[in-house]
Structure 1
Amino acid sequence: MGLREAASRLLEGRHGRLGAAALRAALVDLYEFWLGRAATAAGADAGDPRVALVAVGGLGRRELVPFADLDLVLLHNGHRGVGELAEALWYPLWDAGVGLDHAVRTPGEALSVAAEDLRTALGLLDVRHIAGDPELASRLAGSAREQWRRTARKRLPELAGAARERWERTGEVAQSAEPDLKHGRGGLRDLALLDSLSVAQLVDRPGEEVRAARALLLDVRTELRRELRRGRDVLAAADAGPVAAELGFADRFALARALSGAGRTVAYALDLALRSTVDTPRLFGRRPVRTPLDDGVVLHGEQVALARDAVPAKEPALLLRVAASSARSGKPIAQGTLRTLAAAAPELRTPWPKPARDALTELLGAGEGLVDAVEALDRSGLWARLFPEWGAVRDLPPREPTHAWTVDRHLVRACVEAAGLAGTVSRPDLLLLAALLHDIGKGRGTDHSELGAAIAAQVAHRIGLSEVDAGRVSAVVRHHLLLPHTATRRDIAEPATVHRVATTLDGDVVVLELLHALAIADARATGPGVWTGWKAGLLGELVSRCTADMRGTPPAQEPIEPAHRELIAEAVRSGLGQVRITAEGEVATVLLAVPAAAELLTPAAGVLALNSLEVHAASLGAHDGGRIGVFTASPKFGSLPDQTLLREQFARAVAGGRALAAQLAAKERDYGAAASTAVPRALWFDDEADGADTVVLELRAPDRLGLLHRVAGALREAGAEVRWAKAVTLGGTVVDSFAIAPGSGLPDGEWRGRVERAALLAAAGAPVVRDRPRPE
């Protein structure tokens, strides 16, 4: 049986499925047996003192995961036929499809390379004999470790710098929605760095918590590769479910929470190790300089520490001053200080004194330094003393596909972003507290905004805010999604929409400005590409209109723009669909006009989809015998289509000469889009659009090419008149909102049922049923 077939049998579990750890052990045994036999056949006899085959990397550590490359070194002491022997070893591995990183060296050559190349030096710490002379392998292993102990301290800055560059590229394992198990901060590469510092006798061996984190990371990496049948180390959300099931977790979210905790454990352990070895300079007998930072707080060398005269037991706010000083300076809190505070700091009683509130505001407004300061307090149990509610969101994975962080990290990142917006609001202290708490209600199986508002009110009273300010913080948490949802899913030019928002906020302009700033911070802290210029413009316009409404000066209705009148006139004169495109950055405004008797939304949405334009908003209007649609759209990839080509396609579609449904279906097949099993949902909203007979239908469905075209056609066939439409994409889900009015005299309930069924069938991909509503 060949090597590949034997490995495949282990993965498939033909003789009983092995657990992750047992599978790794079996793979190690398999490769050791195969390599030993191949080495003997090639001439690397155990009694020959001139040659030895050794393993480094995963095989050297006995941590071999499926589809891993082998790191092998053929050692020799001047063996003349070592080249032929190497070829006899390497070629069968290549033929078997095994990835191979190989070298042929004498022990002296290996040590010389290690002296210059950090990666080689770290790799040689895992040297393990596979075949040939064991003494030759043992001498290299001992010499490599001794060389590392002698030179490690001088090479630590290089080691730390390389690690930080890697973290910049790969992000973190902890609090990441799709962690890189090997290269991410807190991953398996960082465990290897901890091991190397331990070998150099610069830090103690990792403790039980770190060993448990290593086991989990290895098990997840093993099951991920077994599931995918290829080498991959990034745990995507789509792959996490089967991995979680194999490892006995309730679901992928439970696995994600455990992984986040493991990543935090490893990252924190490595931070402490680097801080004690790399970031703390050797002063050769001189005492570190103590620089005052705040009352009772000093910078001791490169770490934030307690002043000599500080008395933690008598100063409840000292903990917050220490954390704020760390966040402001970007310097870590000394471990001794954290231990002292954990043992001696008294509980802050309700209500907090003003100095404690002021220190909290300083901490939350410190910017990027807040992240590490909160992590240090959280790892020491001190953050939970300040905010016992934090435990419910700690390491809680996001349910929304657009979120890049766990809920607790997202809240901290939102504070960082809010700090940069503090100058735009009249109450930055309330903005920072609302940013910290806006998602605190998640993970409880209920509306997180409502629960979060109640929790925020409790926290606000506990820290000593007035009734008015506590009410404002609670209101901001309760309505933190109101502005972005309204701006992206409703027509903000309609007075009814604006007045509804203003009324919901009880006309409080302070709450409105806080919500505006929080919406920006929330989006920026969610993930890349969530906050866009298009959303910024919509949100700004909505806030401006709401402010005017609250002050009793609603804006006047704007007349139809000259460019719109001109395009409508051209459509009426020619009898053809007309198009005009203007662009600002990546967002385009596409005007499409038709004669009054022609259909507009359905062909427009279809033609834009065929040209890979993602529609964000569409408003429809009529003027002087024609109709116009104003579409806000952006290219999914590439650049905007040629206006002349778009006009020709639209004109043909309006005239019925272009089979849009078939072309969209063909394009969707060409893209190989996977069919979603998610079930579309429809929601109705009354009094959220202008016009006594106008209601809003909100459709939530899996995103697919031409969805707006299909649904618009279905609504038209069901007898609904669409006045405006909005579309927002959330990962693989789209929320399409339509302001519609009935086009027939059917009873309201019957008409809504007909429209809803048509929309849901179209969203699910069923053919549009052309059953026109019966006449009055």
Structure 2
Amino acid sequence: MTPHRERPPEPGVRHGAEDLALARAALLAPAPRQRRLDAASLRTALTDLHDFWLAGHAAAAGVVGAGVALVTVGALARRELAPHSDLDLVLVHAGRRDVAEVADRLWYPLWDAGIGLDHSVRTVDEALRVAGRDPRVAMALVEARYLAGDRVVGETLVQAARRVWRSGVRDRVGELTEAATQRWARCGEVAHRVEPDLKNGRGGLRDLTLLDALAAAQLVDRPGEEVLRARELLLDVRTELHRASGRARDVLRAQDGDEVAAALGMTDRFDLARALSSAGRTVAYAVDVALRAAHSWVPRRRLGALGRAVWTRGVRGGAPPRRPLDDGVVLHGFVGEPRPGRPAPFPTAEVALAREALPGRDAALLLRVAAAAARVRAPIAAGTLARLADTAPELRRPWPREARQELLALLGSGPGLVDVVEALDRTGLWGRLFPEWGAVRDLPPRDAAHTWTVDRHLVRTVVEAARLATTVSRPDLLLLAALLHDVGKGRDGDHSTVGAALARQVGDRIGLWPSDVDVLVAAVQHHLLLPHTATRRDVTDPATVRRVVDTLGGDPVLLELLHALAEADALATGPGVWSTWKAALVADLVGHCRAAMTEGALPRPEPLDAERRALAEAVAEGRRPDVLLSADGGLATVTVVAPDRPGLLSRAAGVLALNSLQVHAAELRGHADVAVDVFTVSPRFGSLPEVSLLREQLNRALEGTLPLAERLAAKERDYGGPPEDPPPPRLRWFDDEASGAVVLELRAADRIGLLHHVAAALETCGVDVRWARASTYGPTAIDAFCLGPASADSRCSNPRFPAADRARIERAVLAALG
């Protein structure tokens, strides 16, 4: 609908809508939960209220007598009105000359009352012509409902719009599909977004409207019970989101999740997210099936034996082709080929069972169908899925070799795996193969770094692992480890340990050799070892390398599996999780561990390069601090060279934070009696600062003329301030993970200048920070510091740091965070 352009109200055309606004406010007024309307009852009450008021208001505005009627479309027409939904109204007439005045009397009071309004004024013929040009208008009119005025005129529009829709929809299926695909690309999926768009996302309310429109055209059946339950949940969540936020909002933000969940009787936002994921996937799968069914009726052009053009509609003009894919598996239907200057037609080809297939006797047929579908990137026919669900035999333990091979073919198929697993899971077949999947199905992530639900993350990790299959000697174990690495989530206990036990269960069931089961279990148990060690410890420290080698039992095959798995896991987690810096650190750690395993060689510290040595010698002679800055892709290295003194680390870190540089690592070394501190950084936003600015600010900070604390506090306020109600920080000590030193690990809410504050606290305690690592996971920072005594007569002279020293250090760090 097209919004009416506002203009000042004219005398004599206003009728108050204050009573409607007051009634709406009364329905939405805060009340004890046991006394307020539930979501469904609230929608019904709002619909009845607006129907009643609009009917009376229309009569007062002149929508009476012959030739004019008020019709509604959208949420009000569907009786799904949320608290702050707009009203979509059509004033339809049969040539009434005073229709403009009637329209003004209709619309202005609604605007005055602050009620959102989309509206149009049309004759029946005009409305049908607009619908003929714009499929969105045509879909809206399919659900139109008469409200007031001349019923004959109103019902004429309603019935004619439905006839036009049914007669012309086959020529519009391509447009509808393209529009939906573009919308999904913009808004993502309801099932897998941390903050889903309930209306526009894939599997959301607009997809349900599309399903209704296709059903009204008699191209598909009406939605079944599962889809209806999903619709009810999506509507309830949107209703409570409107009520909680006090505005028309369709994106469920994380901060609104707990309140909406409580209103719906759920435990918390994670419980709500899991239910929404299931609903969104149900709707998305139903839409996929419906669009394929609708496209089977789209006119298709094929060339006959003599080269003449023949048009067919689905199966009516000739049987669709069947192409063999594998034993008992065929590709049935039209694939669709691109034409110059035009998009490719929607492929209606589906993977189906061959006529001679015997699903009740062929134990590997289910996996063979799935592998073929993933390989050719075509959906499995709904009838085939239903038949397999009814007749496929249970795979007995251990699986036959052919079934195991088909599973590996499926897992190695690449991007086509995602939709195939989705289809198998929605029909219960995936759960038959892997009963362990139930705990992670639709399980929402617990941290902001993860983009997907846990089950979708596992499948996407397999897709990434398939791309890395040639980098390992056992790609089969890599694919299985990728599928199972997080399967322990959603249960009590550490997910890696729980997942390892489940991996043994799966490995035994599918018939792996016992030695291969052991490697698979170890890969799941230790899938976080390399990325966590590389980003939180010194990869050149012999103690670090020795610990990793010992943990892996000196097995180079397991090492290379974990290397590939670390990359696949990070790439499937979310954007930016696998960075150039992280990849280089993990590769360095793997290289050192491989050398230790095969040659017994442990890493040695590398000397400073010539440029840094020369700068250190110049600073030693002139005693004036200096800075080097070099960039490599999205990362940069800042080298601070200055006379060694307490407070250098914290002040250098403060200057970097002041220039919006996020520190990932700090190596603190010396040469020619001066400190050489090397920071690996990246801009939080924008570009790198000029090195002259860093040099000038560092000198001022060391001289005490740059008020770092005040400037950092102001910068933090400018960018939203410190986090509200942050989780309590946690400190942990590790005694055997650094040579001749200990490691202090801090987990806390991330904030600007965090490294500066912690380093300053450590300096006041008289400890020597040898290196630091900083990792950020969404809003949480995990920083590690290698600590040694500052001097023999320092308050912390014992390299093991007794309990009293540790308690004092912890108090200082926690006070700095406060």
Q: Give me the TM-score of the superposition, normalised by structure 1.
A: 0.95
Q: Distance in 2 between matches of 1:369 and 1:722?
A: 49
Query: Partners in 2 of 1:598 and 1:578 — Cα distance?
Result: 17
Q: Is the 8 A contact 1:74 1:104 kept in 2?
A: yes
Equivalent residue in structure 2 for 1:12, among 29, 35, 59: 29
Q: Is the 8 A contact 1:576 1:655 kept in 2?
A: no
Q: Does the alignment pair 1:564 with 2:618?
A: no
Q: Take 1:522 and 1:71, find their aligned partners in 2: how far apart are those partners? A: 46
The change in CA–CA distance for 1:4 and 1:603 in structure 2 (over 3 A counts) is farther
In structure 1, C-alpha distance between the alignment counterparts of 2:198 and 2:517, rounded to whole Å:
42
Number of the residue aligned with 1:44: 63
Structure-2 separation of matches of 1:712 and 1:329: 55
Residue matched to 2:658 = 610
- Cα distance in structure 2, aligned partners of 1:606 and 1:234: 37
Distance 1:290 1:111 in 2: 40
CA–CA separation in structure 1 for the residues paired with 2:635 and 2:115: 47
Looking at structure 2, the residues matched to 533 and 64 of structure 1 have their Cα atoms a distance apart, in angstroms, of 49
CA deviations over 1:161-188 (Å, ceiling 9, x no partner): 2111211111111233222111111110
1:3 shift after superposition: 4.3
Aligned match for 2:283, one of 259, 263, 266: 266
After TM superposition, give the deviation of residue 239 of structure 1 in Å.
1.6
Instruction: Please list, as runs of the form range in 1=range in 2, the aligned pairs for 1:327-476 lying within 5 A after superposition.
Output: 327-476=374-523
CA contact (8 A) 2:351 2:372 kept: yes
d(CA) in 2 for partners of 1:706, 1:4: 49
Return the offset for 1:675. Answer: 2.0
Q: Of 715, 739, 746, which residue of structure 2 is paired with 1:690?
A: 739
Residue 54 to residue 659, structure 1, CA distance change in 2 (3 Å): same
**Residue identity opposite 2:332 in structure 1:** H
User: Which residue of 2 is the match for residue 71 of structure 1?
Assistant: 88
| Paired position in structure 1 for 2:147 | 130
Distance 1:340 1:640 in 2: 60
1:681 to 730, 745, 758: 730
Q: How does 1:544-555 map to 2 (within 5 A)?
A: 544-551=591-598, 552-555=600-603
Paired with 2:115 and 2:123, the residues of 1 have a C-alpha distance of: 24
CA distance in 1 between counterparts of 2:789 and 2:389 reads 65
State the 1:397 CA deviation.
Answer: 1.0
Contact 1:719 1:755 (8 Å CA) reproduced: no
Matches within 5 A, 1:200-219: 200-219=217-236
Shift of 1:556: 4.0
Q: Give yes or no for contact 2:543–2:739 (8 Å, CA) kept in 1.
A: yes
Aligned residue-pair number? 760
1:124 CA displacement:
0.4
Structure 1: gaps of 5 or more residues: 766-776
TM-score, length-normalised on structure 2?
0.90
Give 1:79 deviation, angstroms. 1.4
**Residue type of the partner of 2:562?**
L
- How far has the Cα of 1:26 moved from its partner? 2.6
Deviates more, 1:182-191 or 1:288-297: 288-297
Confirm whether residue 752 of structure 1 aligns to residue 806 of structure 2: yes
Q: How does 1:269-348 map to 2 (within 5 A)?
A: 269-279=286-296, 282-301=314-333, 302-348=349-395
Tell whether 2:680 aligns with 1:632: yes
Contact 2:765 2:795 in 1 (8 A): no
Counterpart Cα distance in 2 of 1:294 and 1:438: 30
Using the alignment, how far apart are the partners of 2:535 and 2:22 within structure 1?
54
Which residue of the partner structure matches residue 588 of structure 1? 636
Q: 1:44 to 1:474 in 2, by over 3 A?
A: same
Tell me the secondary structure at the aligned position of residue 477 of structure 1. helix
Q: How does 1:693-772 map to 2 (within 5 A)?
A: 694-743=741-790, 744-745=794-795, 748-763=802-817, 765=818
Q: Secondary structure at the match of 1:103?
A: strand
Describe how 1:511-550 pairs up with structure 2 within 5 A.
Answer: 511-550=558-597
The amino acid across from 1:478 in the alignment is Q
**Structure-to-structure mapping, 1:163-242, within 5 angstroms:** 163-242=180-259
Matched, 1:160 2:174: no
For residues 209 and 816 of structure 2, what CA distance do their matches in structure 1 show?
53
Shift, 1:559, TM fit: 0.9
Aligned pair 1:27/2:46, yes or no?
yes
Asked if the contact 1:598/1:654 (under 8 Å) is kept, the reply is no
**Residues 87, 116 of structure 2: 8 Å contact kept:** yes
Question: Which amino acid letter does the alignment assign opposite residue 449 of structure 2?
Answer: T
Aligned to 2:712: 664
- Structure 1 residue 596 displacement after superposition: 1.7
**Which amino acid is the alignment partner of residue 297 of structure 1?**
V
Residues 605-628 of structure 1 show CA distances to partners (whole Å, capped at 9, x for unaligned) of: 111111111111111111112102
Aligned-partner SS, 1:283 = helix
Match of 1:623 in 2: 671
Name 1:774's counterpart in structure 2.
Answer: none
Match of 2:91, SS state, is: strand
| Equivalent residues of 1:42, 1:88 under 8 A apart | yes
CA distance in 2, matches of 1:175, 1:597: 51
Say whether the 8 Å CA contact 1:361–1:429 is kept in structure 2: yes
Aligned position for 1:769:
none
How far apart, CA to CA, are the structure 2 residues paired with 1:114 and 1:156?
14
Q: Do the aligned partners of 1:288 and 1:300 also contact (CA within 8 Å) in 2? A: yes
1:653 aligns with 2:707: no
1:467-506 maps to which residues of 2 (within 5 A)? Answer: 467-506=514-553
Separation in structure 1 between the aligned mates of residue 456 and residue 273 of structure 2, nearest angstrom: 14
Instruction: Calculate percent identity across the aligned residue pairs.
Output: 60
Q: Aligned partners of 1:664, 1:138: CA distance in 2, in Å?
A: 67
Cα deviation 1:433-488 (Å, max 9, x = unaligned): 00000000001121000010111111111111112111111111001011111111
Determine the C-alpha separation between the residues in 1 that align with 2:53 and 2:623.
Answer: 78
Amino acid of the structure 1 residue aligned with 2:44: A
SS of equivalent residue, structure 2 residue 172? helix
Cα RMSD over matched residues? Answer: 1.7
Superposed counterparts of 1:138-153, under 5 Å: 138-153=155-170
**In the alignment, is the contact (CA less than 8 A) between 2:766 and 2:795 conserved in 1?**
no
> What are structure 2's unaligned runs of at least 5 residues?
1-17, 299-313, 334-348
SS at structure 1 position matched to 2:316: coil
Q: Quick one: which amino acid aligns to residue 91 of structure 2? A: L
Output the CA distance in 1 between the equivalents of 2:622 and 2:55. Answer: 83
Alpha-carbon shift at residue 523 of structure 1 (Å)? 0.8
The 2-side partners of 1:291 and 1:358 are apart by 23
1:96 Cα deviation (Å)? 2.8
> Does the Cα contact within 8 Å between 1:742 and 1:751 map onto a contact in 2?
no
The structural deviation recorded for 1:578 is 1.7
Distance 2:592 2:468 in 1: 21
Is contact 2:646–2:763 with CA below 8 Å preserved after alignment? no
Query: Cα 1:598–1:717, aligned 2, differ >3 Å: closer, same or farther?
Result: closer
> 2-side partners of 1:438 and 1:621: how far apart?
38
Tell whether the 8 Å contact from 2:712 to 2:753 is kept in structure 1 after alignment.
Answer: yes
List structure 1 segments (4+ residues) > 6 angstroms apart after TM superposition.
Answer: none
Structure 2 CA distance for aligned equivalents of residues 628 and 437 of structure 1: 44
What is the Cα deviation at residue 745 of structure 1? 4.6
Instruction: Decide whether the 8 Å contact of 2:647 with 2:763 is kept in 1.
Output: no
Distance 1:471 1:617 in 2: 35
